Amino acid sequence: AALLLALQVRLIMKAYSFIRENIPRVLSSVKDKSGTVHIPRISQYLYFLFAPTLIYRDNYPRNPTIRWGYVATKFAQVLGSLFYAYYIFVRLCIPQFRNSSQETFNLRGLVLCIFNSILPGVLILFLAFFAFLHCWLNAFAEMLRFADRMFYK
């Protein structure tokens, strides 16, 4: 459910950017009463939907070739991050909650369980950010030959 919500928010943000960049063009051509209105092609909009950017432009800087070894490395890093997050979850989180589910409820046990889960939770959060923001977006940027890779600025 959270993944679906994140995808919907991303699409809403991209649609807003697309509208915000193209409405002034349409309004200026109506105001000037010129017969030509520059409307983006469907291929430009589809490229924008998959490109790792939230700012619509008709054209983006493009690399001449795709480095498939780089793409494979990034996807391998995503898989490695998923396996490492699974390992952390199974070894550090599940035993905490398995033990607490067999005991009667008390506040002390709940607080200890939460504090014992903070470090694994932070590690999993860092892995999720690394896997998505660094690996996944760079892999798609490479496959789309998207040259502007300033994700962190």
pLDDT confidence band for 101 (50 / 70 / 90)? low
Cβ atoms 139, 45 nearer than 8 A: no
Opening angle at CA 62, ends 11 and 22, nearest 5: 45
Q: Where are the domains of the chain?
A: 1-60, 62-152
pLDDT confidence band for 3 (50 / 70 / 90)? confident
Q: What is the CA radius of gyration of the chain?
A: 23
Across the range 119-131, mean pLDDT stands at 93
- Alpha-carbon distance 106 to 22, whole Å? 58
Q: What is the pLDDT of residue 70?
A: 95
Across the range 24-49, mean pLDDT stands at 83
Write the pLDDT tens digit of every residue in 52-77: 888 899 888 898 999 999 999 999 99
Task: Indicate the pTM of the whole model.
Answer: 0.75
